[in-house]
Amino acid sequence: MPRFARVRRVMVGRRTVVSPARPYCGHMRINAFSDVCLRVVMLLAASPEAAMMTSRAISEAIATPYNHVSKAIIRLRELGLVEVARGRSGGVRISAEGRKATIGWLLRQLDTRLDLAACITPNGPCPLLDGCGVRGALRRAREAFYSDLDAVVIASQPHNQPETRVFY
């Protein structure tokens, strides 16, 4: 088991067994903010064309805290994927641009990490930094991940309007 892996201790009879907290599955992962943004766009895409949804309704539908959803809506509005109307009859709806956006494009816009690997140790920069190819390999892997998702239009994912909560 890697030295820095998170572990959990499980009682088996009288013994304590150490097991991984989350088994490694070998998949790229997106951050929580990107996940919330994708959920919001997918939910809005599944709604009727002109329907406005409040931030509260979206928050409840995707089972995500209201503050997180509000922050996601602000960023999605900046990217032009949603239209926001304030006031008593206001709400959020997907824009024409949002109906054409791909998952790969959106994830690129939301990814704020410069490098996937932190090449810093407690004593300063990694001593292997000059001859290391890991950063470049990880950058290429991330781009391949995004390139594969460039073919997937976000609005095409929800196939019908949800009748109950979308995500639990």
d(CA 144, CA 150): 10
> Tens of pLDDT along 71-84?
999 999 999 999 99
Cα–Cα distance between 91 and 54 in angstroms, integer?
4
Query: Strands 7-12, 15-20: parallel, antiparallel or unpaired by DSSP?
Result: antiparallel
pLDDT digits over 109-157, tens only?
A: 998 776 667 777 777 777 776 777 887 888 888 889 889 999 999 888 8
What three-state secondary structure class fits 20?
strand
Q: Give the pLDDT band of residue 107 (cuts 50, 70, 90).
A: very high
Span between the terminal Cα atoms of the chain, in Å: 31
Confidence of residue 166 (pLDDT cuts 50, 70, 90): very low
The model carries a pTM of: 0.71
